[in-house]
Amino acid sequence: MTDEQRSAMAEKLRSMTPEQLAALQKEQCIFCKIVSGQIPSKKIYEDQIMIAILDINPAARGHLLLIPKNHYMIMPHVPDGEMAHLFVVAQKLSECVLRTLKVGGTSLFIANGQVAGQRAQHVILHVIPRKEGDKVLEFTDTLISSEMVSKVETAVKPTFFKHLGLGGDEPKNDGGNSEEKKDSGSTGVVHAALEPDAPHPEPSAYKEHSASGAVRDEGVVKKSAKKVVASKGIPVVSQDEKVVPKRKDDDVSLDDIANLFK
Amino acid sequence: MKCEYCEIVEREGKAPILYIDEELVVAIKDKVMAPGQITIFPRKHYTILEMVPELLIAKCSVVANKVSMALFESLGCQGTNILISNGLASGQSVPHFGIEVIPRIEEDKVGLTWEGKQLNDDEFEMTMRALVEDVKKAQAEKAKKVEKETAADAAAANSESAVLGKDVKVVDDSSRKSGEGKASGEAVTKAKTKSQAVPPLVRNIRRIP
Ligand SMILES: [Zn+2]
Ligand SMILES: [Zn+2]
């Protein structure tokens, strides 16, 4: 796309209503086309809420993509019930992966936002078969100071409680008109939280979405990133525990996988 | 060796607990991929994902999404990752199932990527066939189990006090579908109405006393 085309496109997008925009996104979404069957896929599971297919460019053989049938661009848009459903199905599929592919573990992974590695405009839950030393989803744990930990606590707690539906008051969760709460409870909370600044946020829209939280003002996230570098050399936790007994490939059971920890 | 997560629950001050109830814990560890990372784990000790009861998985995942939203708003991060490392081979370092929510910013060096592989058609076909078969088996097992549970529920509902008194098992509708048609009897209907009135998943959320 040339710059001109791009700005013309941007102009066009600006003039659209949120509904039109959402429809356009859905129309263009590869994963919605996979769900509808317009694009062929290697489907291994389907129900009313989601499908699971093999990733065509997998991290490992048997890499599964769990895709909600509804078009949700980012994770906060996914209603509670569907989120829960995805993970419960993922648990079952993970077990199938362990059993069928005889791997030593699985990773369940969601990339939410571009900086987090989200490539598709549609929420996806990955189930990835794992083998020792496979160079998939590598990470390093770093020790952070107790001050940092409590800063995080102070900053995150109020918003987290808000999203849980727990205000300053004792939660009124028991009895009463729970029928109504069911409606507002599942999707309502999520959308209410997003609506003020971002009726139809894209992953990048979250940049502007940052609330006025104390931590944000101090730039703790950025600062601390430096701190981590400064205090590098703290051992990676997972590497301390590389006392993995060698097993034959074909006698993996769930108990074996769990027992490796003992 | 004591389990790190069980210790968080048992020993006050081991790690700040953002939230705890009878079923799950939301805590801030000091060994993290990025500051702001939050961990959600069942209060009870389950080593790997496959051992965790469905409803608990459901609740953990819903809470993870809410943690993620809170990170966006309170830390101003630009993305989040949800990660379950399941089994030593996946890098699971604590022998207690948990979900990590990791705040992400541009160029944060967190990693968590992979290199996509090219598989040939045969490999795809084989993998797909094996998985589809196993999934079908799992579905059949599940349907049988649900049928049994539904029957048990009906029996319990008939004995009246037991089920209606306390929390009816809140069942994810979708995972129940297969058994639903088979349930019969007025008592079951009653029990079901009750269970539908309870908000799913977040029913037991209470603050630390
Ligand atoms: Zn889509
Ligand atoms: Zn434990």
Q: What is the CATH number of the domain that holds B13?
A: 3.30.428.10
Pair B126, B172 in one domain: yes
Mean predicted confidence (pLDDT) in B124-128: 94
The nearest alpha carbon in chain B to A237 belongs to B93
Between CA A125 and CA A138, with CA A95 as vertex, the angle to 5 degrees is 55
| Chain centre to alpha carbon of residue A118 | 9
Within a domain: B110? no
Shortest Cα distance from A71 to chain B (angstroms)?
A: 17
Fill in the DSSP letter of residue A76.
G
Contacts of B154 (CB under 8 A, 6+ apart): B183, B184, B185, B187, B188, B191
Give the predicted TM-score (pTM) of the model.
0.72
Pair B54, B96 in one domain: yes
Pair B198, B142 in one domain: yes
Pair B34, B91 in one domain: yes
Residues of B in contact with A159 (CB under 8 A): 69-70, 73-74
Pair B90, B133 in one domain: no
What pLDDT score was predicted for residue A38? Answer: 95
Residues 28-87 of A with CB under 8 A from B: 42, 44-45, 47-49, 54-62, 64, 75-76, 78, 80-81, 83-87
Mean predicted confidence (pLDDT) in B10-38: 94
- % of chain B with per-residue pLDDT over 90: 61
Over residues B77-123, the pLDDT tens digits come to 999 999 999 999 999 999 999 999 999 999 999 999 999 999 999 99
Residue ranges making up the domain that contains B130: 121-207
Within a domain: B116? no
Pair B88, B180 in one domain: no
Mean predicted confidence (pLDDT) in B59-84: 96
Tell me how far the alpha carbon of residue A178 lies from the centroid of ligand 1, in angstroms: 32
CB contact under 8 A, A160 and B199: no
Within a domain: B113? no
What pLDDT score was predicted for residue A110? Answer: 98
Q: pLDDT higher for A7 or A236?
A: A7
At which of B73, B104, B135 does a domain end? Answer: B104
Query: From the CB of residue A150, how many other CB atoms can be counted at a distance below 10 Å?
Result: 12
Over residues A34-48, the pLDDT tens digits come to 999 999 999 999 999
At which of B50, B74, B104 does a domain end? Answer: B104
Domains of chain A by start residue, with CATH: 3-132+199-260 (3.30.428.10), 154-191 (no CATH)
Tell me how far the alpha carbon of residue B181 lies from the centroid of ligand 2, in angstroms: 39
Within a domain: B83? yes
Over residues A77-133, the pLDDT tens digits come to 999 999 999 999 999 999 999 999 999 999 999 999 999 999 999 999 999 999 999
Complex ipTM: 0.76
The nearest alpha carbon in chain A to B118 belongs to A57
Pair B92, B57 in one domain: yes
Over residues A11-20, the pLDDT tens digits come to 888 888 888 8
Pair B94, B145 in one domain: no
Q: What is the number of domains present in chain B?
A: 2
